[in-house]
Structure 1
């Protein structure tokens, strides 16, 4: 392979990026309390969001295979201003998502030593900040490092721990231990949707399938996007849905559904199985694997949104030249990555002022989900608009038929809207304080993203008009 192509992503790299960006064992404890009915809910969530998302992103990424991904698609459909608002919302979701994943990773790592350390706010907050800075410095050195970290994390953080969890459940059963959650009755498989507080975590299930638009953000750095993206989407989808469903069954096998903690559920199961099966080495091995998984998922999201920001800022110089400036040696957006690390560090310390690690974790989940799903609520209509306004744009992959291209984006839009609605119902399992305070934080987070986007856009337009009047642009 030539030096020119050595830093480009291939089909395998895209699959690793998709899998590590989307698939996370942290999602399984969110759903495990549903027991056998979680199988139906996984299928429902995959059918309503993941399938439409995969098909829509597959077509858009091959029609507009440029750096920027979702920004480029929405700009083509609705213009730069709306696309810029989407970019800022997406970036807000990412900087909220990073401390969320770091909390999960350090909670798993803490369990390797003691359950108390897994709930220690200082250990989680400070450790999260240090690790994020380390990842930032490595990614500043270029895409080669991003590929290496993603590959290692996909194996050590996703495939290996998933295999351990599933094999452990099989060993548990064949050695005569009873399944800890009842899967025998037909009624156990039917989700109880009669109470809102029992389905609030469905929005988290939707978020578990989000992320297929991350790889297209750096489509310009792939060898053959028209060929590689559809293949990678299909293979990634099969792996992700399968592991989520089998992993949930395995967790329910080792731990009663009603006793599963949403943050530390996998490590709870490992602790129980290690003691019962006399495998003390299980806990540290799984803790290290899940820590790597958290780092890999962060790393997959760390670079893509920054390249999207850079692409969004380029036309009208929205953020000024300094933010978009590339590193002189590595040609990476170093300044933007460092600014992102500063913001994430402040959010990592939010654990200090929360009522509990679980409360901080869920609030970050809710804020991440709403700011992340707002771009989706624009992306699905953008797909429909582009089908009408630019039907002749070459696409190596198109959603087949006449009904599916209309039905799938509508289904995806309704699913995302429903998931956002569910966020405003606080989980009954966690003390989130007063409802007005809880809802105010969610609404405030979304409003802040819009205000920041509008202020930046307005100032850029004013600055550019002034420069134009002076003949400088």
Structure 2
């Protein structure tokens, strides 16, 4: 999973958004092509997952390109059509609900929210490692980052601190997210790639095995398990699809922006991954430390190793910015759906800033309980891997439902106005959706297999935890829906009904 940007986040692309006057007196924001490209890039790109893919060396290029073609592009195109046809409040709840009714619509948005909640600990484990690497020497930093007690304490302190900041409203979260994204992701990412280029150009030893094949060894399934997580790196493109109607020319600008953003995202991920592999031996790759080791090694090659500590602090700040926006963002969507009658009134309460405090507290409780994984599994790294795989599975469930819903809506509502429509008629829709479904199903299957590169303890225990956790999370929205009551609908709910023209 990667950086998420809220719709009202103050970002640099704001300069490219100019107001235009329609027939009404209200101003409608028009988003330029390159502005939308930047929005999509900042939604997806994150540095946290680079070490996981550095495990594969040059083969990582294949995984990035493959996941982009069979997952990122189909998700972007399908989400764009659904968002343009159903711009009303609700997002994926609206899209799936129009196709299969509110039961499945609620399940879809619940899976989206739940996957992000599970994703929190994996992000914060990386933040804990980054904070550990601001000290000296590296042996102390490494030991601290691998300590379970330290990791759990930092995880919970940081998460709850960000949660309480979120109580102040989306404005506070957006500001932290903007500065965190700029100075904790974009700038450090550019520095990483530039340093690696200079490092290689000046004749320093390269750890990356240049003899590895571009194509993976398909005979060893376990070696491809970590690559399934690349699908989570590319998740979230549907979040920006809600802006498709604000583009000047949706039919032209949306697919073009997706193409540009996809190429840029894949290029950034590949360059960053190879940069890590350049200075960190594949056998020594650590999911939550190798990026920080790479920074320190690169700066050490130029005689200024202490700059590696500064990069660790910047990366930690970037994680805080990322977490700040995804703490509040998904819960806001759940609140809107809940107020329409799908959550008990006790979960619909907000503070004076309109923040769903109770939902955030429940969300925090789930995150806290997930820390149990750190005491069950043999290492911090194995716990991070398990939670990452579970988040991937739950998120992919939502995408599977979304693809099927898009196909069904072409048949049940053929006359619905779609400002952006996947070209090629039904053949185009079926082709894009089947490619997306196949990619998501493949990644889901791989996610249940213990990885060969990481010690996760007993394979049976690992698979059992994944199966039980997935089953519980998958059934939860249907249980909530089964017991929901019409009286739960809030009097101030402005959620539109399904079936609007």
* TM-score range normalised by the length of the shorter chain: 0.7 to 0.9
Kept in 1, the 8 Å contact 2:222–2:451? The answer is: yes
Structure 1 residue 9 displacement after superposition? 11
Q: Which residue of 2 aligns with 1:240?
A: 265
1:455 to 446, 466, 479: 479
Q: Which residue of 2 aligns with 1:386?
A: 409
Partner Cα distance (2:292, 2:120) in 1: 20
Partner Cα distance (2:127, 2:30) in 1: 27
SS in 2 for 1:189: coil
Q: Which residue of 2 aligns with 1:395?
A: 418
Kept in 2, the 8 Å contact 1:156–1:289? The answer is: yes
* Deviates most, 252-261 or 151-160: 252-261
Partner Cα distance (2:353, 2:415) in 1: 37
Partner Cα distance (1:334, 1:214) in 2: 22
Partner Cα distance (1:204, 1:253) in 2: 21
1:145 to 151, 172, 181: 172
Q: Which residue of 2 aligns with 1:468?
A: none
1:92-126 CA-to-partner distances (Å, cap 9, x unmatched) read 21211011100011112212221111112222212
1:422 to 446, 453, 456: 446
SS in 2 for 1:188: coil
Equivalent runs, 1:29-48 vs 2, <5 Å:
29-48=51-70
1:120 to 147, 158, 172: 147
Partner Cα distance (2:173, 2:419) in 1: 27
1:171 to 198, 209, 212: 198
2:280 to 241, 255, 277: 255
Q: Which residue of 2 aligns with 1:362?
A: 385
Kept in 2, the 8 Å contact 1:267–1:287? The answer is: yes
Structure 1 residue 461 displacement after superposition? 4.1
Q: Which residue of 2 aligns with 1:339?
A: 362
* Deviates most, 13-22 or 95-104: 13-22
Q: Which residue of 2 aligns with 1:103?
A: 125
* Deviates most, 225-234 or 187-196: 225-234
Kept in 1, the 8 Å contact 2:331–2:359? The answer is: yes
1:137-162 CA-to-partner distances (Å, cap 9, x unmatched) read 23232232233122212211221111
Kept in 1, the 8 Å contact 2:296–2:309? The answer is: no
Q: Which residue of 1 aligns with 2:189?
A: 162
1:406 to 430, 433, 458: 430
* Deviates most, 407-416 or 257-266: 257-266
Partner Cα distance (1:33, 1:22) in 2: 21
1:410-442 CA-to-partner distances (Å, cap 9, x unmatched) read 111111111111012101222222222211111
Count how many residue pairs are aligned between Structure 1 and Structure 2.
Answer: 455
Q: Which residue of 2 aligns with 1:208?
A: 233
Structure 1 residue 84 displacement after superposition? 1.6
Q: Which residue of 2 aligns with 1:294?
A: 319
Gaps of 5+ in 2: 1-17, 20-25, 136-140, 490-501
Partner Cα distance (1:451, 1:277) in 2: 54
Partner Cα distance (2:31, 2:356) in 1: 22
Partner Cα distance (1:352, 1:14) in 2: 43
* Deviates most, 421-430 or 347-356: 347-356
Structure 1 residue 381 displacement after superposition? 0.6
**Distance of aligned partners of 1:129 and 1:174 in 2 relative to their CA distance in 1, 3 Å threshold:** same
Partner Cα distance (2:411, 2:184) in 1: 42
**Distance of aligned partners of 1:9 and 1:270 in 2 relative to their CA distance in 1, 3 Å threshold:** farther
TM-score, normalization: structure 2? 0.83
* Deviates most, 135-144 or 198-207: 135-144
Structure 1 residue 232 displacement after superposition? 6.5
Higher-helix-fraction structure? 1
Partner Cα distance (2:417, 2:260) in 1: 23
Using CA pairs under 8 Å that are at least 6 residues apart, name the structure with larger relative contact order, 1 or 2.
Answer: 1
Structure 1 residue 463 displacement after superposition? 6.8
**Distance of aligned partners of 1:354 and 1:297 in 2 relative to their CA distance in 1, 3 Å threshold:** same
Kept in 1, the 8 Å contact 2:343–2:484? The answer is: yes
Structure 1 residue 406 displacement after superposition? 1.8
* Deviates most, 198-207 or 451-460: 451-460
Gaps of 5+ in 1: 466-473
1:86 to 94, 97, 108: 108
Partner Cα distance (1:139, 1:247) in 2: 31
